[in-house]
Amino acid sequence: MIKTINLKKLYITEEIETTALNNISLEIQQGEFVSIMGPSGCGKSTLLNILGMLDSPSAGAYLFEGEDISRMNERQRAALRKKNIGFVFQSFNLIDELTVFENVELPLLYLGLSPRERQERVEDILKQMEIIHRRKHYPQQLSGGQQQRVAVGRALVSQPKVIFADEPTGNLDSAHGDEVMRLLTSLNKKGTTIVMVTHSPMYAEYGHRTIHLFDGQMVGVNVQDALKI
C-alpha cells in the first residue's frame, strides 16, 4: 500500500542545510498497524507528513498504491489525500466554534456529499465513537478523551484507507490514552491501516511492528505481537 525508496527531506536556509530524513526505505501493507518511534527531532513527524501527503520529499520516491506521489503537484496530492487519508493529531485540532456534529461533518463538505448522506455518515460514526449523545456540544464542553474520540470520528467519516496518527495520546492522561489506543486497535481489526507516531514504548506495542528513527535514519524495526484488546 505504502512504499518509500531512499526518501530524503532537506531544509535549506542561507546559513545551514539540515537533513530531516535520509534514505528512508520502507513498506507498509494494507491492514497493518505500524508504530514509529524515536527521540524528539529525529524526523518522525516529517516522515508522517510526507506519507500523509502534507509535504513532499526532497529526493527519493513515495508510492501510494503504486502511484508515485513524489511526482505529483499539490492539487493532485490533495485530491488523493481527501479520498484515502485521515489524520489524528495530538492537539485534536477541533474547531471550537463548531459542534461535535459539525466538526465530524467537515471533511464530507469538501467531498461534496448531499446533506442527507452527510447526516447519515456522521451519525453512524458518532455512534461508533460512542459520542452521539454529545453531538450538539462544543469541543470545550468535552473531556480530552471525548475530544480525541471526535477527532478520530472526523478522520474516519470519509472512510479512508489509512489513518495517520501523530502522538494521538500525547495530551491525554493514561486512562484516556488507553481508551484511544483501544479505539485505534479496534479500527485496525476492522481493516483500517494505522500509522502512528508515539514516544511511548507501551503504546507502540499495540502495533504489529515498530520502526525506529534516529537523526533522520531508520535504525531498526521491531516486530511484535499486537496487544489483544
Instruction: Please give the average pLDDT of every successive group of 10 residues along the chain, which has 229 residues.
Output: 96 89 96 96 94 93 92 89 92 94 94 94 93 96 93 92 93 88 91 95 95 95 65
- Residue 43, SS3 per DSSP: coil
pLDDT of the residue at 229:
40
pLDDT of the residue at 111:
86
The three grid cell numbers given for residue 198, joined into one nine-digit string: 508515539
DSSP one-letter code for 69: G
Q: Is the pTM of this model over 0.75?
A: yes
pLDDT of the residue at 227:
46
pLDDT of the residue at 225:
59
pLDDT of the residue at 110:
86
Q: Which residues contact 187 (CB under 8 A, 6 or more apart)?
A: 152, 156, 163, 194
| Beta strands at 193-197 and 33-37: parallel, antiparallel or unpaired | parallel
- Please, where are the H alpha helices in the chain? 44-51, 74-84, 100-111, 115-128, 144-156, 174-189, 201-204
pLDDT of the residue at 90:
87
Q: What separation in angstroms does the CA of 57 have from each of 2, 33, 105?
A: 15, 23, 31
pLDDT of the residue at 50:
94
Task: Check if the beta carbon of residue 86 is closer than 8 Å to that of residue 162.
Answer: yes
Task: Check if the beta carbon of residue 53 is closer than 8 Å to that of residue 85.
Answer: yes
How far is the C-alpha of 96 from the C-alpha of 93, rounded, in Å?
9
pLDDT of the residue at 116:
96
Half-sphere exposure at residue 48, Cβ-oriented, CA atoms within 13 angstroms: 28
Task: Check if the beta carbon of residue 144 is closer than 8 Å to that of residue 173.
Answer: yes
